Amino acid sequence: MKVAFLGTGLMGQPMAQRLLAANIEVIAYNRTPEKLAPLQAAGAEIVNHPRYAIREAECVILMLTNAAAIYHVLLSDTSWRTLAGRTIIQMGTITPTQSQEIRDSVVGGGGEYMEAPVLGSIPEAQTGTLTVMVGAQLQQYERHLDLLKNFGPDPVLVGPVGTASGLKLALNQLIGSLTTSFALSLAFVQRQRIDVEKFMEVLRSSALYAPTFDKKLQRMLEGNYSNPNFPTKHLLKDTDLFISEAQSLGLDLSSIENVQKILQTAMKMSFAEDDYSALFSVIRDWGEVSGG
């Protein structure tokens, strides 16, 4: 199988490296060409227009920033005309509605479409231990299972197109909400002059504990948000997507809307490219940030 990989950023690059390591031919395209150099060195074929990659491949994997990027890269007139007979696997984070609309465009161009968003970040992408959630027909899932296992050991068939995208947004909502709640408790503990390790000792032994708390603790304590696996701007984008999709479902969104405001403030504080644990600085310094 020859695979076109469109989008080789923070997650796309290590994922494409996994395919190369499995001796799968990869044709790579990225809108920022400099990001392709490591893949070229590892043996990938590099092209300067997505249609060249699509034309040469049986399967096209998308790991692009958002739906607008997908429309630009995959569904522009010149690229759309090359989709016939190709399988498109969309692995980024978009809404169920967007995924279904893109599916309809792909099918209209003679291709087939499935979604396979992933949970995890760069370390899991490098080791092939991502959680892969698949929205597809059963036959599509079975036909591409071996390919998807390069990214995660047990890809899960969630349901038809749209269900995996929805599950991914539900999980990313938890990333924002859990991290915000932990950051608030940590800031409170510090202001109360409670020993942080005592706080963590009790928390770790309770049903309230989530491993993500320890993963983010040191960054928060040190204020070191550089070299992110998941930047603040991406969590805000996914939070915006969750809210936009959930608004029509009759849910109370006030809690996640407050997370959205905190992330927006983090962006204003120049944390856009930093790890999303930077929201701790917003919460801790809220009096200064808000002028209170």
Beta-sheet pairing, 45-46 with 59-62: unpaired
pLDDT exceeds cutoff 90 at 117: yes
pLDDT confidence of residue 214: 98
pLDDT confidence of residue 292: 55
Q: Is 206 exposed, middle or buried (0-12, 13-18, 19+ CB in 10 A)?
A: exposed
* pTM, two decimal places: 0.94
* Sign of the alpha-carbon torsion through 254, 258, 259, 260: positive
Beta-sheet pairing, 25-29 with 2-6: parallel
pLDDT confidence of residue 254: 97
pLDDT confidence of residue 167: 98
pLDDT confidence of residue 1: 85
* Sign of the alpha-carbon torsion through 180, 262, 238, 121: negative
Number of H helices, E strands in the chain: 15, 9
Residue 108 CA: distances (Å) to CA of 67, 103, 163: 17, 8, 21
pLDDT confidence of residue 77: 83
pLDDT tens digits, one per residue of 8-43: 999 999 999 999 999 999 999 998 988 899 999 999
pLDDT tens digits, one per residue of 228-282: 999 999 999 999 999 999 999 999 999 999 999 999 999 999 999 999 999 999 9
pLDDT tens digits, one per residue of 257-272: 999 999 999 999 999 9
pLDDT tens digits, one per residue of 167-222: 999 999 999 999 999 999 999 999 999 999 999 999 999 999 999 999 999 999 99
Q: What is the mean pLDDT of residues 154-170?
A: 98
- Residues in a beta bridge with 118: 132
DSSP assignment of 188-235: HHHHTT--HHHHHHHHHTSTT--HHHHHHHHHHHHT---S-SSBHHHH
Q: Quote the tokens at residue 45.
A: 């074929």
- Cβ(88)–Cβ(60) under 8 Å? yes
With bands split at pLDDT 50, 70 and 90, how would you rate the model's confidence at 290? low
